């Protein structure tokens, strides 16, 4: 984070969902290093506590609030926002990092799997954002919201029907909501990474390999050789892009979908 000052997010309260996942985990660490007070949420309290400890090792006086929640649950969403504000004040930054992979080719896709992917990746994200936006607007606070979309939210790929649809929905939500929120001084953007070196990313590469009768190692090699950069993305790189979009360094970037593709998608 060489370009960021230690106080780039000072006075900001950032809520990070999906904080136990690879990208959310690194985003939390990057946010405290940029001076933010953060609330981290996910379903696994033990992992959230581990993340809090990691943040406190990086920044001695890190302000980290741990609030486990199931974002598919309406009451959990409301309680999360209420307690986050009670503990750390108005939320001025939101990172919607919670999400899951999954799905199959359309002829094999099960309704249960489709609903599961859409519920967390899209519906819960929109409904949580609605609550946060309402509080930001009521408190007349400027802010920034960053949604985690994907390259799969910009173009479809084989065997990716459910996940790609959910991320296309997030990309569309980002663009439409950006028009509305900027009237209140709240910027909305998305990051769209391709394969990232996280558990979800590795699972995706493994699944792709199985369809092509390749081992994980063989498929990873093929994926990386097809990329101009020659490698997949590290979660820290996605986190740094998110911090940029949260900070005032990007204050006239609105409704964008920032690709992080290693050069594999240029358009």
* C-alpha of 52 from chain center: 18
Tokens 């986050």, located at residue: 84
163 has catalytic annotation: yes
CA–CA separation, 250 vs 149, rounded Å? 18
Q: Check if the beta carbon of residue 146 is closer than 8 Å to that of residue 190.
A: yes
Is 34 in contact with 8 (CB distance < 8 Å)?
Answer: yes
Q: Give the Cα-Cα-Cα angle 250, 251, 254 (nearest 5 degrees).
A: 90
Catalytic residue among 122, 133, 163, 244: 163
DSSP bridge partners of 60: none
Cα dihedral 214, 219, 222, 226 sign: positive
DSSP 115-166: HHHHIIIIIIHHHHHHHHHHHHHHTT--EEEEEE--GGGTS--TT-HHHHHH
Instruction: Give the residue numbers marked as catalytic.
Output: 163
């Amino acid at each position: 984070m060489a370009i960021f000052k230690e106080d780039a997010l000072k006075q900001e309260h950032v809520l990070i969902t999906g904080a136990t996942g690879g990208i959310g985990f690194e985003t939390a660490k990057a946010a405290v290093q940029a001076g933010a007070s953060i609330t981290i949420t996910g379903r696994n309290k033990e992992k959230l506590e581990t993340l809090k400890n990691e943040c406190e090792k990086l920044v001695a006086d890190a302000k980290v609030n741990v609030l486990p929640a199931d974002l598919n649950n309406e009451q959990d969403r409301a309680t999360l926002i209420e307690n986050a504000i009670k503990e750390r004040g108005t939320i001025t930054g939101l990172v919607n990092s919670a999400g899951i992979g999954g799905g199959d080719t359309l002829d094999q896709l099960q309704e249960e799997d489709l609903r599961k992917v859409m519920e967390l990746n899209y519906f819960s994200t929109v409904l949580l954002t609605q609550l946060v936006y309402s509080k930001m607007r009521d408190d007349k606070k400027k802010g920034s919201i960053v949604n985690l979309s994907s390259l799969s939210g910009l173009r479809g790929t084989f065997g990716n029907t459910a996940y790609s649809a959910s991320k296309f929905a997030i990309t569309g939500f980002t663009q439409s909501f950006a028009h509305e929120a900027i009237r209140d001084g709240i910027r909305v953007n998305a990051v769209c990474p391709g394969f990232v070196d996280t558990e979800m990313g590795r699972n995706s590469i493994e699944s792709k390999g199985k369809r092509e009768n390749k081992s994980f190692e063989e498929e990873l090699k093929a994926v990386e050789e097809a990329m101009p950069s020659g490698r997949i993305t590290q979660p820290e790189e996605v986190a740094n892009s998110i911090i940029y979009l949260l900070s005032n360094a990007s204050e006239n970037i609105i409704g964008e979908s920032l690709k992080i593709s290693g050069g594999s998608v240029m358009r």
